[in-house]
Amino acid sequence: MIKRSVKLEIEGLMNEMKMNLENNYKDLAHDALKKLHATLDEYLKNGTLKEKDYRKYKSVADEYTTRLANYHH
């Protein structure tokens, strides 16, 4: 089971990224996405996040990475 605080942090980063994307703040959306990837990797590395949960959130993050790939000024 994932800790509530960890889940809230990850979902908060995802929401931040989605809101920035919806509001057409491309730079902020890219920054939030980078922070999301870094947070996921760090939590997996230090054992806070299990592999199953990591893959679930990582797949969503990767989907947004693909979606944001062509978002430039």
Q: Where are the domains of the chain?
A: 4-68
Q: Compute φ and ψ for 48, nearest 5 degrees.
A: -70, -30
Q: Of 35, 59, 36, 39, give the one whose Cα is nearest residue 49.
A: 39
CA distance 68 to 73: 12
In the predicted model, what is the mean pLDDT of the chain? 92
Two tokens at 45?
């590395």
Q: Between 71 and 35, whose confidence is greater?
A: 35
48 pLDDT above the threshold of 70: yes
3 state DSSP class of 71: coil
Instruction: With cut-offs at 50, 70 and 90, classify the pLDDT of residue 54.
Output: very high
7 pLDDT above the threshold of 90: yes
Instruction: With cut-offs at 50, 70 and 90, classify the pLDDT of residue 45.
Output: very high
Whole-structure pTM over 0.75, yes or no? Answer: yes
Two tokens at 32?
């939030």
